[in-house]
Every structure is written in structure tokens, then in C-alpha cells.
Structure 1
Amino acid sequence: MAQMEHFAVRPGCGPAAVDSVAARMSAYGSAWPAADGLAVFNRVYLKVTEEIGRRIDGGGFPDPRAATTLSVLFAERYLFAVGATADGVRPPACWRPLFQYRRHPGVRPLQFALAGINAHIGHDLALAVVDTCHALGCEPVDVEGEFEGVGDILELLEERIREDLMPGPDLLQIADPLTHLVGSWSLERAREGAWSAARLLWRLRDLPELAGEFTERLDAGVGLVGRCLLTPWR
């Protein structure tokens, strides 16, 4: 049974580290066609990361160091998945549907965006909380404010994503199944699940095999939801 892998904070992880991961996202995005499903999600996540950086700089988090650490380790899990795929290595199960369907002509941009958010929130965020606690020597409760702050930014941007990427009224009849599908997924519930998973994984930190098994099941379950979100409509 595989054990849970932890990501470590790089030396000197400060506010500039958020700018660094944003720059890496921007570099990846510039190399992909605009219609590429991963590029669609990358644009969304880049906006999230830039907004997090602005709020950290503006004192919008109770603990800027914890917010920076969580944000960077959170982003690193997405960047790891992108890098693994570029190197010919299978990414985590939660990301596989998006990588497999990223060029499918029957999948709409809104589906790509939500599938990426599902993978990143449903799986990566829980692990990033645990990574942060290991890096800072604290408990999940100590970074709950930062967790909520990042989640609030994601929810604001999710509203904009649905407004910007949902097909217009002229396509409403055609898109009825899509409207039903995306309406069945909730970022709020995904956040709640991520927080519960993070707390459980922290409790299991001295039981690495059990933690690894739970992580694998979480990864697979989130991947299944992502596959449903990417159901082609033509």
C-alpha cells in the first residue's frame, strides 16, 4: 500500500513564492491553445492565485506566513500533476479525466473549469493543509482561517466562472443536461469535504499505511466525480 506523499515548502517561502507559482502557471498557459481544457482551468486558477497574492500583501489573512505556505503548497500539487504528465508519468487519479479529455470537442469550457476545481479542491486542498501543518509545525485548526480565506476567494471566482462560461440563453435548450450536471456539483460541499479529509489525515499521520490507503481512495473518488463532470455533449 502506497504511503501518503508530503510536499515540502521551499527555503525562503515568503510572499514572493506566490508570485513564483503564478509565473509558472502563466508559462504553462502560454504554451497551450486557448481551447485546451487544461488551459481553461489554468486561466481560472491563475486568477485565484493572483488574488490570493494580493490579499496576502494587503493583510487580508490572519497569518500571512501560513496563508503563503498553504497557497504555495496547494499550487505545487497542481503544478506537480502538470509536470508529471509532461514527463510521461501518470498524474494523480483526480487529474486524469481532465488530462484525458482536455481536447475533446464535445466538452464545454465550463466543464473543464469545474473538473479542475473539483480535482484541486476535492483532493489537493486536503493534502496541502496537511503539508502546511508539517511545514509549520502546527495543527489544522491553526490554519483554519487561511483555509477559509482561500475557499472564499475560490467561491467568488466560481460565481464568475459560471457566469462567463455558461452557454447563453440561445443555447439553453441544448445545454439543459449541462445545466443539470454542473448544478449538481457544489464547491461549498467540496470545501467541507476537503477540511474533514485534512483533519482525518492529520489524525492518521502516525499510521502512514492507513493514511496512504485513505488518500488513494480519496484520489480515486474525486477522479470519478471529475469524469462525470466531463461527460461530452456531442
Structure 2
Amino acid sequence: MPQKEQLTVRRPAPVDSDAAQVVARMRALDSHWPATDGVAVFNRVYLTVMEEIGRRIAAGEFPDRRAALTLDVLFARRYLAAVEASETGARPPACWRPLFQYRRHPGVRTTQFALAGINAHIGHDLALAVVDSCRALECAPADLENEFDRVGDILTLMEERIREDLMPGPDLLEIADPLTHLVGAWSLDRARDGAWSAARLLWGVRELPGLAEEFTERLDAGVGLVGRCLLTPWR
């Protein structure tokens, strides 16, 4: 049986027009979906971060502009591919399925939708995007570590924005509120560390496609399980 090509196809590195197309697609989705849609909640936060990364790349804050642009675009395309799969009736990766399934559930809070999207995107997509980028740039993960860290620092803004804009105020968020414990149990830093380790592992077994495919499937399923927990309805 022929091996799948998900991790072995080499594609050209993205350029500025590719980044512009990604942002334009996310803006179109934002205008199309209702504001209360769970995927729209994540999309709005992510769009803000994409625009910020674009401004910083243009300002020369990334020493290797080409590497930063490549990682940024290939990372975002993973999310957009999941959206396209959902909209065309195909099956998105397991990590994204809970968010698409619960996107209109009245018992799921806005913060949960945003965190579930971040969990899927960082816990699963980021590792594969690093591998995609290495293939496009013909380099190893270690050559992208600075860009990975800088993009990760900006992604931290996404979590901070969620906590500032989407969490209830101190008078509403009591220590006994289950959402307090749910949000506190998930860590962006741990997810980033896990993504970097997964990327290095996948790169290390790139000549063993069967093993790489098995690990990718298990990573996808594990991140999906966490996402389902993050989307536990409260009413």
C-alpha cells in the first residue's frame, strides 16, 4: 500500500502574496460567520495575531524574514484547510472536530471556543507546520527555532487577548466557577513545548513514513481529546 504524502511533499516557500491571501481569507470568514459562532470566535482572535505577525515581519523584527513568513503562512493554512474540510463536508483533523461540532452549542462559553481553537492549532498544526516549513526551506527544525520562538511569543498575545476580552470580569468569575479551573488547566507554554518536541520527532522519522503517519494520527487524536474536554458545556 503506498504511503500517504502528508509529511513528504516539498512545496515552494510562501511569499508576501501568500500571506496576504491567508489574511484575506480569514477576514472573509469573519464577515461571513455570525459573531457568536464558536469557530468565528477563534478566527477573530487569530486574525488579530496574523495581522500583528505581518506588521512585525514587515518591520524587520524577524532576522530571517523568509523563514518567518514561511512558518506563519504554512501554519495558518493548516487552520484554513480544516475550515475548508468542514465547509465541504469532508472530515477535518480530529483535533478540530470538537470545535466544529460544538460551534453553536448554547452551553459552551466564548472563552472555551477560543481556547479549543488554540489547542487544536498549536497542539497539532504547529508541529506539522514546522515540518512543512523545513521541507519548503530545505532546512532542519533547529534552523527555525528563533522564528518558532518569536512567533510563539506573539501567539502568547492570543491567549492574553482571550483572558482580557473574553473572560468574565472579577465580579462574575468566582473561584468556584468551573470555567476558572478549566482555563487554568490548559497551558499555552506547555502546548508550544509539546509542538516543538513533536516537530523534532517528526523530522527525525521523516524517512520512516509509516511511523511518522502513526505518530501524527496519535497526536491528532490526543489533541482532539483535550479539545473535547475544553468544550464541556456548562448548561
TM-score normalized by the length of structure 1:
0.95
Instruction: Report the Cα offset of residue 170 of structure 1.
Output: 3.7
- Given that residues 4 and 212 in structure 1 are in contact (C-alpha distance below 8 angstroms), is that contact kept between their aligned partners in structure 2? no
- Cα distance per residue 1:189-210 (max 9 Å; x no partner): 0000000000000001000000
Match of 2:223 in 1: 222
- Given that residues 17 and 68 in structure 1 are in contact (C-alpha distance below 8 angstroms), is that contact kept between their aligned partners in structure 2? no
Match of 1:210 in 2: 211
Instruction: Report the Cα offset of residue 175 of structure 1.
Output: 6.8
TM-score normalized by the length of structure 2:
0.95
Instruction: Report the Cα offset of residue 74 of structure 1.
Output: 0.3
CA distance, structure 2, for counterparts of residue 92 and residue 226 of structure 1: 12
**Structure 1: tracts of 5 or more residues without a match:** none
CA distance, structure 2, for counterparts of residue 63 and residue 170 of structure 1: 45
Amino acid at match of 1:145: N
Q: 1:4 to 1:193 in 2, by over 3 A?
A: farther
CA distance, structure 2, for counterparts of residue 3 and residue 188 of structure 1: 31
Deviation larger for 21-30 or 113-122:
21-30
Deviation larger for 161-170 or 198-207:
161-170
SS at match of 1:169: coil
Amino acid at match of 1:80: A
Match of 2:135 in 1: 134
Match of 1:101 in 2: 102
Amino acid at match of 1:189: R
Instruction: Report the Cα offset of residue 9 of structure 1.
Output: 4.5
CA distance, structure 2, for counterparts of residue 69 and residue 143 of structure 1: 10
CA distance, structure 2, for counterparts of residue 8 and residue 22 of structure 1: 23
Amino acid at match of 2:83: V
CA distance, structure 2, for counterparts of residue 8 and residue 31 of structure 1: 33
CA distance, structure 1, for counterparts of residue 174 and residue 45 of structure 2: 26
Match of 1:143 in 2: 144
CA distance, structure 2, for counterparts of residue 83 and residue 98 of structure 1: 14
- Given that residues 42 and 118 in structure 2 are in contact (C-alpha distance below 8 angstroms), is that contact kept between their aligned partners in structure 1? yes
Deviation larger for 2-11 or 163-172:
2-11
**Structure 2: tracts of 5 or more residues without a match:** none
- Give the aligned CA root-mean-square deviation in angstroms: 1.7
CA distance, structure 1, for counterparts of residue 179 and residue 10 of structure 2: 39
Identity of aligned residues (%): 73
CA distance, structure 2, for counterparts of residue 4 and residue 209 of structure 1: 10
Match of 2:168 in 1: 167
Match of 1:67 in 2: 68
Question: After superposition, where does 1:17-32 map in structure 2 within 5 Å?
Answer: 17-32=18-33
Amino acid at match of 1:225: V
- Cα distance per residue 1:140-184 (max 9 Å; x no partner): 000111111110001123112111111123422497100100110
Runs of 4+ in 1 over 6 A off after TM superposition: none
Instruction: Report the Cα offset of residue 86 of structure 1.
Output: 0.8
CA distance, structure 2, for counterparts of residue 151 and residue 75 of structure 1: 13
CA distance, structure 1, for counterparts of residue 5 and residue 117 of structure 2: 21
- Cα distance per residue 1:48-71 (max 9 Å; x no partner): 111111011001112000001111
Amino acid at match of 2:97: R
2:52 is aligned with 1:54: no
